Chain A
Amino acid sequence: MRNFRIWRGDASSGALEDYQVEVNEGEVVLDVLHRLQATQTPDLACRWNCKAGKCGSCSVEINGMPKLACMTRMSTFTADETITVTPLRTFPVIRDLVTDVSYNYVKAREMPAFSPPPDLAPGEYRMQQVDVERSQEFRKCIECFLCQNVCHVVRDHEENKLAFAGPRLFIRAAELDMHPLDARTDRKEHTRDRQGVGYCNITKCCTEVCPEHIKITDNAIIPMKERVVDRRYDPLVWLGRKIFRRDQVEQQAAAEDTTPAPASPETVTHRASPGQVNWAQEIQVPPAPAVGPDGRFAMSEVLIDRAGAPSPFGDDVTFPVDPEQLRYLHPRTDED
C-alpha cells in the first residue's frame, strides 16, 4: 500500500485527494493510476496511449516534477513517500490530470511548413547521414510538452503565450533550419520575429525535463539565437567579440538583435510576489556563445577546447550563480 495524492477537479475548482493503493514490483506511476481507475475511482481522468514513452500523452507533474507517468518507476520513490500527482501547470485544466494543450498546436500551426526544394522530384532527394542527423535529433520529439510546461516564460505567465512559441517550437525551427533541403532561408528571422526567442534566457529547464534527451538549448535555441546575428559572420567582429566578450557595447548590440518583435523584454511583466526578486536589477542579456568562423555554433565537443557543451552564460561565469543576480523567479510547484 502506498499513499498517493492526486489533484481532482476541473477548471472551476479542485483539490488534492488522498488515495491508498496497492503497488507491485516493477510498476510505473501510470500502472498505479490505472489501478485507481479500475478499483477506486473509475472516472479519474488522465491521458495515455503507448505506455512506452513514445507518444507523449501521459505528461503530468509528479512531486512537482514534470514527468511522463509511464516512464516514472515506482522504485524511484522511498517506501513511505507520498506521491503527489498534479496536472501540467502551464496549461488550463480540463479535468483531473488532463489539461488543454491546444496552445502548442496553435503555435505549431503558425510555424511555416517544410518547403521542398523546387527542382527535385520524389525519389531524387539525396542527403548525407551526417547532415540529416542534426535535424533528426529534433524530430525525436514526442510532443509531450513537458518543456513547454516547465519554461518560466509561459509558466504562470499567460500573457506571454501570445508572443512566445516555446522550446518545442524552437527545436522545430532549428530542425527546418538545419534540414539539408529546406528551401526557405528565413527560419532564424522567423524564430526571432514571430516566435519570440528573445524571451528565452537559456535557463535550460526545458533540456532538463525532455524525456527524449534532446539538447533543446545547446543544439537548437543557442544556434538559432546566434545565427540571427549576422554580424557574427564578419571575422573581425567575431575576433573582437572573442577578446571583449563582456563589452558593454557588445551587449547592447546583442540586445537589439534578440529583441522579439511583438514585445521587447522590458514590456514583459512578471507577476511574482514582491520581495523575492530584485526588480531593480538591470535585465542582462546573456552574452552570445562562441561561434566558429563559419558563423555556426560548434556542434561537437571535438571542435571546442573543453569538455561538455559550452556554457551559454559564457565561459567565465561560475556556478551556482547568486540568486540575487537572477532576474526571474524559479518556478515553485509545491505552493498550492
Chain B
Amino acid sequence: MSIQRHQYDVVVIGAGGAGLRAAIEARLAGAKTAVISKSLFGKAHTVMAEGGAAAAMGNVNPGDSWQVHFRDTMRGGKFLNDVRMAELHAKESPERVWELEIYGALFDRTKDGRISQRNFGGHEYPRLAHVGDRTGLEMIRTLQQKIVSLQQEDRAATGEYESRLRVFDETTVTELLLEDGKVAGAFGYDRESGEFLLFEAPAVVLATGGIGRSFKVTSNSWEYTGDGHALALRAGGKLINMEFIQFHPTGMVWPPSVKGILVTESVRGDGGVLKNTEGQRFMFDYVPDVFRAYYADTPEEADRWYDDPDNNRRPPELLPRDEVARAINAEVKAGRGTKAGGVLLDIASRRSAEFIQRKLPSMYHQFKELADVDITAQPMEVGPTCHYVMGGVEVDADTGAATGAVEGLFAAGEVSGGMHGSNRLGGNSLSDLLVFGKRAGEHAAAYATALPSRPRPSQADVTTAEEAALAPLARGDGENPYALQQELQDVMQSLVGIIRRRGELEDSLQRLAELRERVDKVGATGGRRYNPGWHLALDLRNMLVVSECTARAALEREESRGGHTREDFPDMKPEWRRVTLVCSLAGADEVRLAQQPVTPMRPELAGLFERDELAKYYTPEELSSATADLG
C-alpha cells in the first residue's frame, strides 16, 4: 500500500492544550505546521481538566505575584523542580491566560469584571482562572477555535484553509525518523483507514500527554500510553523524574461506573472535608512539619478560613495532593476505610444543596447521571487514582528543546519533565501547557527556519517502521493485547503504585521483563480500518518501556518525596534532592538509568524563601552556599 507523504516545517504531535498552543505559535511564526492527534480534534485529554489554570494575575487578592507563585510551585514540587521552568511558568502564565481571552475564552468574572480566581491546594492565594468546573474544555475549545480562525485567515490569503496549518485527527505517530541525530520526520497511521502517513519535517514538538493507562485505577483515557515519552527515548532523548507519579487523592472508588473519575479539589476548597468510616475528620493528624505554620490545627480555625482567609490558617484538607493521598492511604490501611478501599468526602452535610449545585454544577450532574449519586445529599467514596506524571522528556527550559543525542525535537505539556519537580500543584498544568506550548512552538519554528539543509528520512527507516506497525496483524493468533494491557496495569498498580517497597519494585521489573517477551508476540485480528485491538497492540510497546523507566527510577530513589513514596524509606532526604534520575535507551528498548545533579537556584530566587524553610530541604553545605550570597 502506498504511503501518504506530507512536508511541513513543524509537526506537532498531540492536540491537547500544549500541542494546540505550540501549533498556533509555530504558525504565527510563519512555519507550515501540522498538528497530529490520536482522537478527534478538540477531544484531547485537556478537556477533562476541571479546576482551573493557575496564573498570578492578582485579580482576587492583589497580594499575589509571580514570586509567590514560584514559591508555591517549588514548595509543591519539594524543591526538585527545574528552577528556570518554575520561574518562567510563574512569570508568563498571566499573559498566556489573558491571551486566551483574545481568542474568545469566557472565564468566570470577579465583581469588577476581571477574570475570577479560585483557591486550590498548595496555592497561597486564590489563583486559578476557571470556568465553573470545565476549565479544560474552555481552554481546548478556545485554542481549537483560534486554530480555525488562523485557517480562515490563511484561506483569505491563499484560498486554502489548510495551506499553513493542518490538523490530522485520528492519526497515531508510531515512530520518529532521524538522520544523523537530527529529526527528519514522523511515521504514523490513520486510524480511520489504517493507511500509513509519512511526515517529513525538520522539527517535531511532542505534546502527547501522560502515561496513566499503565495503571488500573486512573483518571486518564486510552490516549495516555506514554507514546511521546517512548518516541523521545527511541529518538535519543532522555526522560527525567519518571518515579514521580501523581495519584489524585480523591478519585471516586465506588460505584464502578464512576471509578477513577476525579472529585475536584474545589470540593475541598469550597468546604468539603474528609472523614474515615468512624466519622473522624482525620486530616488534622497528617499535617507534616514543613507545613504546620500554614495549616489550621483545629476544626474551628479551619472552618473560619473559608470566610476569613486572611486571619486564619487553611484547612488541612487543602494540603498538597500527595499529602492528602498518603493520608487516605494510611487510613484505609489502618482499617478505617470503606469496603471499596476509599474514605468519605463530605460536602453534603456542610453546605446547602443550592450552594453545591451552583459551585460544582458539572460535578453534581456527572455523579447524578452516571451513578445516581446525589452529592448534595450523601458523601462521596474517594481514594487515590493515578492522575498525572511529573516525569517526562528532559528539555531546555527556555526553548523546550529535548536534551540528549537528538536535535530538532521539542516537548511541552505533560510529556515534558522538570517543571513540577516531584509533585504538581493543581492548576499548574493548564498554565504549563500554555507557557511551554508557546515556547516550544516558537523555538521549533525558529529551529526549522534556521536549519541550512533539511534532513531526509531514509527509505530503510520507513520500511522498518511500516513492518513494525504491521507485525501484530500478521500474528492473528498472537497474545491478546487487552489481556496484556490488563496484566501490565495489575503489575504497575500493585507493585509500582502509590506506596512502594524494594521487594515489590524488584518483582515488578521481573514481571515487566516477562511481559516484554509476550508483547513481542502480541497479535491483532481484523483488518486495518479503525481496529482498536491493533491500535492497542502497537501502544503496548510504549507503555511497557515507560513503565520500566518508572519502576527502575522508583527502585533507585531511596527516599519519599512528592509523588514517590517508599515505605522502606519514609523520609525526605536532602542528599536525594540534589539528584535527578535520568532514563535513556541503550540498544533496542533497554532502559539505562543514571544520576544527574540538579541545577542550583539563583541567589535572588533563593532569597524568596526563609532560611528556615530552605533548611528543611537542603543539605547543610548546600544551605550555606545558597545563603552566603544573600548575606
Contact = CB atoms under 8 A, between A and B. Distances in A.
Answer whether A and B are interacting partners.
yes
A127 B109 CA distance: 7
Interface stretch (A105-113, A147-155, A192-200, A318-326): A105-113
B373 to A, nearest CB: 10
Contact of B534 (A43, A49, A100): A43
B138 A43 contact: no
Contact of A139 (B131, B161, B221, B370): B131
A126 B108 contact: no
Contacts, number: 176
B8 interface: no
B102 interface: yes
Nearest to B531: A43
B608 interface: no
Contacts of A96: 530
Interface residues of B, number: 73
B103 interface: yes
Interface string B191-218: 0100000000000000000000000000
B99 interface: yes
Interface stretch (B21-29, B144-152, B240-248, B389-397): B144-152
Contacts of B40: 47, 57, 101
Given A71-B370, A112-B152, A114-B103, A94 B192 contact: yes
Nearest to B526: A43
Contact of B39 (A38, A42, A49, A125): A49
B48 A94 contact: no
Contacts of B290: none
A7 B491 CA distance: 35
A277 interface: no
B527 interface: yes
B256 A50 contact: no
A38 to B, nearest CB: 4
Interface stretch (B326-334, B480-488, B495-503): B480-488
Given A42-B526, A43-B532, A52 B370 contact: yes
A57 B170 CA distance: 12
Contacts of A116: 102, 104
Contact of B152 (A50, A113, A122): A113
How big is chain A's contact interface, by range?
A: 35 or more
Nearest to B529: A95
Given A50-B48, A55-B48, A45 B531 contact: yes
Interface string A122-134: 1101111100100
22 contacts: A26-B254, A26-B256, A38-B486, A39-B482, A42-B525, A43-B525, A49-B222, A52-B48, A53-B370, A54-B47, A55-B47, A71-B369, A98-B530, A113-B146, A122-B102, A129-B108, A136-B106, A136-B132, A140-B134, A142-B137, A179-B104, A213-B365
Interface of A: 10, 24-28, 31, 37-39, 42-57, 70-71, 73, 75, 94-96, 98, 100-101, 105, 108-109, 111-114, 116, 122-123, 125-129, 132, 135-136, 139-143, 176, 179, 182, 213
